[in-house]
């Protein structure tokens, strides 16, 4: 063998650098901004915002001028108001918009996406008119070729703490294990730990319904009730969530996990909870419409209270706490009366 040839064969070729994959986050509210910072640990992120001032603030000053304003955003994160630009070349797309706007967004973004790109919903809610979960909305509104790429992120996670890189654990749910594994790898960092499950129904309903129970928890605090009351409310609230979720096909163990009990505890007890804030102000005697009108961010539990109550009636599932929250928000029922009515219900066994 020619010595030159031998040397050529044994000389290692230079390793080509692996380009970090681009991801897209659609929605620049608090939670969308927080998830974008998580993904920016792995590579470039394009964050879509509706308003030009938000885009300018992020790209020029490295902060979101409306939400989480004190947080400096990574240099790997850029913002755009152009939806097509945001998703162009993205290997993963995360949707973080209010649940009542999800259907319209899917109609706009569907034609821009290619099959094989994981689509992650991080929105928690149930549509008022259709009583559809976000999975059902996405399956109805996206092109058929994209429907096997869906995943759903949920769990106990305040945006401010996520941006501050405080230890957080969430659940990724998908019908197909290869999709949940892709999403798990994309989001997992030393401070943001992701678990996977195939129980999309349990994860979705746990994430949506806990917001309604959080309004009840806030109301209990607002009228001056104590720890005994809160413990009872969380426990019975979880029982209600589990009854409806299991009726619709969920695994009851899911409701004992991060996207069930974990998210419920956080949202009902954490002072950063928007839903708990709404309930607290109702407990102090204010009307829901007045409270909501003052808020710059969406409290998903307000709209979900209506759809959850209607869903419970459709499925003939007993959900008395959900019913009282519905009446406090939409019928201006005083919190004191709602609590009295809950406590005076017919006595029964705890587990039936």
Answer yes or no: 210 catalytic: yes
How far, in Å, CA of 335 to CA of 278, rounded? 12
How far, in Å, CA of 250 to CA of 73, rounded? 37
Structure tokens at 284: 């102090």
Scanning the structure block, which residue is given the tokens 């063998």?
1
How far, in Å, CA of 180 to CA of 176, rounded? 7
CA quadruple 54, 57, 58, 62: dihedral, nearest 10 = -150
Q: Are 115 and 84 in contact (CB under 8 A)?
A: no
Helices of type H across the chain: 3-10, 30-39, 52-61, 83-87, 102-109, 134-141, 159-163, 177-187, 200-222, 227-247, 263-269, 274-283, 288-294, 300-315, 320-330, 335-343
- DSSP character for 124? -
Structure tokens at 122: 């991080």
Structure tokens at 257: 């996990």
What are the φ/ψ torsions at residue 152 (nearest 5 degrees)?
-135, 125
Structure tokens at 192: 């943001």
Catalytic choice (22, 42, 124, 210) = 210
Residues found in the chain: 352
Q: Are 307 and 134 in contact (CB under 8 A)?
A: no
How far, in Å, CA of 331 to CA of 346, rounded? 23
- The burial class, CB within 10 Å (0-12 / 13-18 / 19+), for 12 is exposed
Scanning the structure block, which residue is given the tokens 């005083």?
334
Give catalytic residue positions: 210
């Amino acid at each position: 063998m020619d010595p030159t040839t031998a040397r050529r064969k044994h000389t290692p070729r230079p390793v080509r650098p692996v380009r970090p994959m681009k991801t897209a986050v659609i929605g620049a509210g608090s939670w969308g901004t927080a998830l974008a910072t998580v993904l920016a640990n792995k590579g470039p992120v394009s964050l879509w915002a509706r308003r030009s001032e938000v885009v300018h603030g992020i790209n020029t000053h490295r902060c979101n001028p409306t939400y989480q304003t004190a947080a400096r955003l990574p240099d790997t994160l850029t913002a755009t108001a152009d939806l097509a630009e945001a998703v162009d070349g993205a290997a993963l797309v995360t949707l973080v918009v209010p649940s009542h706007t999800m259907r319209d967004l899917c109609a706009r973004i569907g034609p821009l996406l290619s099959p094989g790109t994981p689509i992650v919903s991080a929105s928690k809610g149930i549509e008022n008119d259709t009583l559809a979960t976000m999975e059902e909305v996405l399956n109805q509104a996206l092109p058929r070729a994209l429907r096997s790429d869906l995943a759903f992120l949920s769990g106990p996670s305040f945006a401010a703490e996520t941006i501050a890189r405080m230890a957080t654990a969430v659940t990724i749910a998908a019908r197909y294990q290869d999709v949940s594994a892709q999403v798990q790898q994309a989001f997992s960092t030393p401070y943001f730990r992701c678990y996977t499950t195939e129980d999309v129904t349990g994860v979705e309903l746990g994430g949506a319904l806990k917001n309604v129970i959080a309004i009840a928890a806030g109301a209990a605090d607002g009228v001056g009730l104590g720890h005994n009351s809160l413990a009872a409310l969380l426990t019975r609230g979880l029982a209600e969530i589990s009854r409806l979720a299991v009726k619709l096909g969920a695994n009851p163990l899911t409701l004992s996990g991060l996207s069930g009990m974990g998210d419920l505890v956080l949202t009902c007890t954490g002072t950063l909870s928007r839903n708990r804030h709404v309930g607290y102000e109702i407990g102090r005697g204010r009307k829901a419409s007045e409270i909501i009108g003052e808020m710059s961010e969406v409290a998903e539990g307000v709209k979900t209270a209506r759809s959850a109550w209607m869903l419970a009636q459709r499925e003939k599932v007993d959900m008395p706490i959900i019913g009282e929250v519905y009446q406090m928000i939409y019928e201006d029922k005083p919190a004191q009366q709602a609590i009295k009515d809950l406590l005076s219900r017919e006595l029964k066994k705890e587990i039936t």
